[in-house]
Structure 1
Amino acid sequence: MAENATVLIVDDEDRIRRLLRMYLEREEFSVEEADNGTDALHMALTNDYDVILLDIMMPGMDGIEVCQALRQEKSTPVIMLTAKGEESNRVQGFEVGTDDYIVKPFSPREVVLRVKAVLRRTTDANYNKGKTQATNLIVFPHLTIDLDAYRVTANGIEISLTPKEYELLCFLAKAPDKVFKREDLLKEVWEYEFFGDLRTVDTHVKRLREKLTNVSKEAAKMIVTVWGVGYKLEVDDA
């Protein structure tokens, strides 16, 4: 899975970049580096990386600004690196489209595992995009999810989602009309506890609705907030 996969490491601390490079190359990843946000954005827009490890706090253009600008053009998976205590920055990161975050000081092995988890999804997606016949579909009146091709269309128009946005939508769509608590969505979709940072779910739902609204207001309205509980994907039987 890691073969030929390319990771861009963005951090202004040389020590951190060297440490992450060592562990990732040990797992046969191809690694490139940037020590500032401006160079990182240029590299991310001109190259197709499989995963970007992006530090939030950098002089000049910070990680939030890089991710925000990147999301205007690409859905490359982004794992944000944040210092402990930067909760507000982490929430900002999710709002601009970060897929995951890792708190410093971190275990390099954890970083490798998170990168591999992203690749398990995107590798399958790229492999299946070449298939011409869909065999595994979730179909609603205004929304279709092709699980084989990792493709979402609303009213026939394809929507570009980040891996985590896609996973969240699929999870809700596989159990239509069932209400899920935000805590349960964190556990099931993110596969680990976020220690009470429930706004992670809220910001992803917000971005998902915005993307659906741009194509189909009817599809966007299917994602319903159940106040005080969580969210569901509501299907109109009419």
Structure 2
Amino acid sequence: MEKERILIVDDEKEIRDLVEIYLKGEGYETFKAENGIEALNLLEEKDIDLVILDVMMPKMDGIKTCLKIRENSEMPIIMLSAKSEDIDKILGLNMGADDYLSKPFNTLELIARVKSQLRRYKKFNKFSKEEDTSLEVNIEDLNIKLDTHEVFLGEEFIKFTPTEFDILVLLAKNRGKVFSIVNIYESVWKQEYLESDNTVMVHIRKIREKIEENPRNPRFIKTVWGVGYKIDK
């Protein structure tokens, strides 16, 4: 069985080496880069399955690197940052990252998130390679194609990250049901929710920006205050 390949991008050698030790212990093949430019060069040369990407780096930071990766690839991206302010998390996820961890982080938690992202990405690839009859969820003019991982609003194709897509599908396939932030996180990420984690709210906001004409008055994803989110059309 071919090993999954992880690219670790961080300007701190100690962090690169530590993460590599744990990833190799789980059977992954690893590659390392100390800035975004090195990372992009490696991505051209190697078939990478997931990127662990630091935000603050010299030459090319993680935000610009994430944007460049997203021009050509939907591979999972987990961002790391030494800053804990929510603005960093929001900025990172708005650039197309799938998950986020603040430094200092628990290495075992990082490994758990790597596994979760790879499971979801493999599921998407499995669907996209099958030639079965198209599976779709339609909500008014919103068309979600489950087999090809595509979302259309009318005739317009809307680009989603794998995580955004999974959240949208969860809500769309359970119309009328209210999902709390904990429900969404544990259903999509397949791991225990951390009370201080705002990742779900950031993803919901980003999904709304993509499919709602007015994200502040959403047509599709409704907020049930004090409870969670739902699609009830």
Q: Normalised by the size of structure 2, how large is the TM-score?
A: 0.80
Question: Are the aligned partners of 2:50 and 2:75 in contact in 1 as well (CA < 8 Å)?
Answer: yes
Number of residues of Structure 1 aligned to a counterpart in Structure 2: 229
RMSD: 3.0
Rate the CA distance shift 1:195–1:89 in 2: closer, same or farther, 3 A: same
Partner SS state of residue 118, structure 2? helix
Question: Are the aligned partners of 2:81 and 2:102 in contact in 1 as well (CA < 8 Å)?
Answer: yes
* Match in the other structure for 2:196: 196
Q: Which moved more, 1:123-132 or 1:221-230?
A: 221-230
Question: Are the aligned partners of 2:7 and 2:50 in contact in 1 as well (CA < 8 Å)?
Answer: yes
User: In the TM superposition, what whole-angstrom CA distance separates every residue of 1:193-237 from its partner, at most 9, and x where no partner exists?
Assistant: 243343x333312322343469xx9xx8323344565432242xx
* Match in the other structure for 1:232: 230
- Aligned runs of 1:1-238 on 2, under 5 Å? 3-44=2-43, 48-83=47-82, 85-134=84-133, 136-155=135-154, 159-190=158-189, 191-198=191-198, 200-212=199-211, 221-226=219-224, 230-235=228-233
Unaligned runs of 5+ in 1: none
Q: What letter matches 1:56 in structure 2?
A: V
How far is the alpha carbon of 1:56 from its aligned partner?
Answer: 1.6
User: In the TM superposition, what whole-angstrom CA distance separates every residue of 1:5-55 from its partner, at most 9, and x where no partner exists?
Assistant: 211100111121122222222333221111012222343466542110011
User: In the TM superposition, what whole-angstrom CA distance separates every residue of 1:74-95 from its partner, at most 9, and x where no partner exists?
Assistant: 3221111223634432232122
Partner SS state of residue 129, structure 2? coil
Unaligned runs of 5+ in 2: none
Rate the CA distance shift 1:146–1:177 in 2: closer, same or farther, 3 A: same
Question: Are the aligned partners of 1:95 and 1:207 in contact in 2 as well (CA < 8 Å)?
Answer: yes
Whole-angstrom distance in 2 between the partners of 1:99 and 1:77: 6
Identity of aligned residues (%): 39
Q: What letter matches 2:126 in structure 1?
A: Y
Q: What letter matches 2:107 in structure 1?
A: P
Q: Normalised by the size of structure 1, how large is the TM-score?
A: 0.79
